Structures are given as C-alpha cells and as structure tokens.
Amino acid sequence: MSASKAFYVKNNNGTQVQAIGLGTYTSLGGDCERATLHAIDVGYRHIDTAYFYENEGEVGRAVQQKIAEGVIQRKDIFITTKIWCHFHEPERVEYACRKTLQNLGVDYVDLYLMHWPYSYVYRGDSEMMPTNAKGEVELSDVDYLDTWRAMEKLVELGLTKSIGVSNFNSEQLTRLLANCKIKPIHNQIECHPALNQKPLIALCKQHNIVVTAYCPLGRPDPAKKQPSFIYDAKVQAIADKYKKSTAQIVLRYLIEIGTVPLPKSSNPKRIEENFNIFDFKLTAADHAVLDSYNTGERLIKMEHAIKSKNYPFNIEY
C-alpha cells in the first residue's frame, strides 16, 4: 500500500496535509512507537500527538528511524502536536514549544495547536491537571488571544510551520479570526456520526480552515456493542456492499462531509484498514443512514473546566 493512495488537503497557508492521520492518544509504553512505525510503512504521512499525551518521544523516535531507513524524509511527514492548558501564559509558550521539539527530536513541527481554549494554573511542567485542596482542577483566566499571539511568534521563529486550534466553538473561532495576524489552519474537534459537527464544519470551510476529527469512531466498545453507528445492522449492510468494515464506512463518511479523520489504533491490521478508505465513495442514501445517528452527544466533555469563561461546550456549536 502506498502513500499515493491517500489524497492531500490544501491548508490556507499553502501547506498540505494527508486526508487521514494517525491518532495517538492513550498510546503509551512502546505502543505508540510501534504504531507510528507501522503507519509510516503503510503510507500514513500525517501523525497527531500532543504534550498532554506524553508520547511525543515515541512519535519522534519512530519518525527518526524511518528517516534513517530512507523510507521518508522529514519534509514528507506532517507532525501535529499541541500546547497544553498549563502553558497558556504568553511567556511560557515558546518554552513549551521548544520542550515539545526536544521530546520529538525535530527542529520544527508542521502544526502546533492550542489544545483547548481554556487554561490552567502553572504548577510545573509535568503537573498537567493541577488541583486545589478540594481536588478541583485549578483554572486560570488567560485569554486565548494572548496565547495565540505568542504562538504566532513561533511561526516567525521557524519552530512550527503552521498554527491552529482544537476544541474551539463558533464564537471562539470568530473572535480569533477577527484578532489574529496568522489564521489558524486547522480546528481539531470531536467528530463522528453521533456528533457530526456539520454547522461548525461549514463555518470552518467558509474561512478555509481544515477540520480534523478526533474520536472519529466514537471509541468502540465491542462488549457493549457501542456506538451504534459501528455495530448496527444498517451500517453493516453498507459495509458489506463495499466489502469494507463499518469503521471504514464511518471514516469515509467523515472524509466526505469535509473532515480529516484521526483514527487512533495500535493494532497493525486496524492501522492498515483505517488507511484503506480511498478506493470507494458513499451514496446519498448511505449518507442519510449515517446522518441519522447524529444526536449531538459528546464523548469528551471536560466538565472539570465548565466554570471557565472559555469553556467551549456551553453553546450549540
């Protein structure tokens, strides 16, 4: 299987990114390194990590190994990572980015995202969920615009080629666009058939911002046969029609509604399967079935941050 099978999406700053990426959240203990190595061999050229995931080192080692083997050059692979909420004070942003580059063992990243629009009190680099005596996460009130301005400087310094956001709602995105020098190239959001995000995708499209989709398969649980859009007979029937799995149908749907899905797996067979979605197209009738699962129910609610004025999920989208 070759990288040429997957198409590329143009970013608003002239760079491009492969239309699918490898998600790495909760991939640890060598799993992430093995998954990244295999994904590159399969043809993935887009890897998504984050400071919070504590696996940037594993991603970096895999990328370096594949460069050393001559499989890829650095320019061939698009590495996305993210600044965590305790580094939002503008004076910490460059430090956070340099720490990430050190973890990855690279001179630059292709995309540096603001992981969430809200921020935490800084209690040390590794204290990522600082809590008070009551056990509540300590929120701070840094304005994400101030964090963004510090991120813009990272582009000027050459530490990242591009910057973007994650989990920003329509109001936050609109405010950012009205106040930025450098436009975000991506908004990475939870997106799957139960939360298809069509209004937010439309807004992003209007501003030429690529939507990347995390939790694209809704965190399947075979024991509970959840989510229904992976286990239902209606979706299985579509999968049978194309000789694909239900996961492949869902990923194809997400591509066709205008997102770049980031399926996470450390299973070699699934990593291959998730990539093999570029040789068929869904019909309008298939879309209608998948659209019917849209309940708006989120998996990732981050309710500990609900008191923050920058909590993103208090409005419809």
List residues with catalytic annotation.
Answer: 53
Rounded Cα distance, 251 and 231, in Å: 14
CB 21, CB 80: distance < 8 Å: yes
Return the residue matching tokens 């920058």. Answer: 310
Tokens representing 21?
Answer: 């990426």
Compute the half-sphere exposure of residue 310: CA atoms within 13 Å on the CB side of its CA.
25
Nearest to 315 by CA among 185, 197, 187, 169: 169
Tokens representing 251?
Answer: 């990923």
Tokens representing 272?
Answer: 């291959």
Burial 93-125 (b: 16+ CB within 10 A, else e): bbebbebbbebbebebbbbbbbbbbbbbbbeee
Tokens representing 102?
Answer: 């050190």
